[in-house]
Structure 1
Amino acid sequence: MKFDIFCIAENETLLCALKKIDENKKGFLLVIDDGNRVLGTLTDGDIRRAFINETNINDEVANVYIKKFERVLIDDEFSKIIEYFKDNRIKFLPIVDWQGKLMNIITKSNMHVLLLEDIVFGLDYDFLSLDEDKLEHEIFNRPWGLYKTTFLNPYSQSKIIKVKPLGELSLQEHKRREEYWVIIYGMGEVIIGESKKRVESGNYVYIPKGCKHKLINTSEDSSLMVAEVQLGDYFGEDDIIRYQDIYGRK
């Protein structure tokens, strides 16, 4: 069964459960019977709490797992899943048939990837095959401050940009994307083509593809924070043509 590393029987040990949780990297298991019916759930947190209460690692799962849990039916609407995941305590949901047999599994991260990627799917979709790493992006340091990508797909990218006091992005242009900036916090100066204007919290800036532009934090003691959305067909850092840079970058 394709969900083997997510399932465990009542009579298996907590040690076995921990090994499966370590293998599936999701932090949970579904407890099932011989007929593949879902009986309950078991998380790494449940096991930790059991150990605090002096449960033995070789004790059976039956003594620890949670028998009251949320589930959705295979013919339910996806909107029901969205409603369940509004509860911060719910991180995953088994999808079952009318007999309670396991048909699928979806995590909250799976749902976020689906919604952001605009994937067409039914509740029989292979949710666990989705790349949840798309939701995680590093913070990149630059001489002028830092940025973090918050979303990336083949036709758009969004970032949060933080420019340190008196920091300046290079005068640059992009051949394959246009950009939209919203000033979140602080004040500064924006150069777009031949024009220059002051910006502050709440201001919006549009940068057409192929247009020279620059962002400057004019404050000596406060950061400038910007939400950036890029639209195009390529978002690599090598689509930056620099004309001027106070940090000497080419």
Structure 2
Amino acid sequence: MSTELKIFSICLDASIVDAMQKIDENKKGFLIVMDNEVVVGTLTDGDIRRAIINGHSPQSNISDIFVHDFTYVKSTDSFNHIIELFKDTKVKFIPIVDDEMRLCNVITKSNLHTLLLQDIPYDAFYPFNVLDDSLLEHEIYPRPWGYYKTTLLNKYCQCKIIRVNPHGVLSLQLHHKRDEQWIIVHGKGVVQIGDEIFEARPGYSFTIPRETIHRLRNSSDSESLIIAEVQMGEYFGEDDIIRIEDEYGRTNC
């Protein structure tokens, strides 16, 4: 077993306190229970909490509390099979084993999402623990006109949900390194692309090539204007927003 996998495994004869310490070290909330080199079950921090509540001593053996009936896949199973298993909301991680039930790898639901969204080909022996699962977590960023939240970011594109407050207006701007597609989801407004002005209503979509000035305005007195934005190009940083005009006094910095 590789060193990387040892942080996820624990021997069948270990104590509950040993398991607690190991879960604290791996920061994943679970362990794979091993009898010699064979995977025999799983153990989560939730299993441990329930055991202690039910009167088990922290010094008692994990053999009394680990889960025998657990979800696993073989290293030869397809990626589609793994996707199907993760549709069960109770399944947060899956041991990957060989034909002798020896541990080959462990994949978590966050790993699965990161593989899909970052377009990384599945390999049962891929070092999933090196994946940056924080890429799945995006903050909501406030702006003078409203806010935006990134929903997807990879090397091909960035997708955002943008909400513009009543009478809010994005700066007149352009981008050097990306094209954009806007889809109006809710509300009404006005879109400027180049020298042309368009009405914006739910279901309308607009293509904005790079180097083209554009702006979005919410024309409602009371309703938010919500759009889905898809950026395509080689760079998606906020410093590729070149502001021509801005009602809030912002610059390109």
TM over 0.5: yes
**Code of the aligned partner of 1:30:** I
Q: Which residue of 2 aligns with 1:113?
A: 114
The TM-score with structure 1 as length reference comes to 0.95
**d(CA) in 1 for partners of 2:35, 2:242:** 61
CA distance in 2, matches of 1:41, 1:188: 54
Partners in 2 of 1:56 and 1:160 — Cα distance? Answer: 49
Q: What whole-Å deviation, never above 9, does each CA across 1:166-196 have from its counterpart, x for those lacking one?
A: 1111010001100011112222111111111
Per the alignment, residue 21 of structure 2 pairs with: 19
Provide the C-alpha distance between the structure 1 equivalents of 2:222 and 2:105, rounded to a whole number of angstroms. 53
Give the 4+ runs in structure 1 shifted more than 3 A: none
Aligned residue in 2 for 1:49: 50
Pairs within 5 Å for 1:1-250: 1-2=2-3, 3-34=5-36, 36-250=37-251
Contact residue 98 and residue 104 of structure 2 kept, 8 A: yes
Identity %: 51
What letter is aligned with 1:13? S
Q: Secondary structure at the match of 2:181?
A: strand
Please report the RMSD computed on the Cα atoms of aligned residues, expressed in angstroms. Answer: 1.3
Aligned-pair distance for 1:149? 1.1
* CA positional deviation for 1:55: 2.5
Q: What do the CA deviations read for 1:188-238 (whole angstroms, capped 9, x no partner)?
A: 111111111121222211111111111111122221111111001111111
SS in 2 for 1:238: helix
Kept in 1, the 8 Å contact 2:79–2:122? The answer is no
Question: Quick one: distance in 1 between partners of 2:67 and 2:219?
Answer: 56
2-side partners of 1:49 and 1:94: how far apart? 22
Unpaired runs of 5+ residues, structure 1, are: none
Structure 2, gaps ≥5 residues long: none
Determine the C-alpha separation between the residues in 2 that align with 1:201 and 1:232.
25
TM-score (norm 2): 0.94
**Distance in 1 separating the partners of 2:145 and 2:221:** 13
1:114 is aligned with what amino acid?
L
Q: Distance in 1 between matches of 2:203 and 2:55?
A: 55
> Following TM superposition, by how much is the alpha carbon of 1:11 offset from its aligned partner in structure 2, in angstroms?
2.0
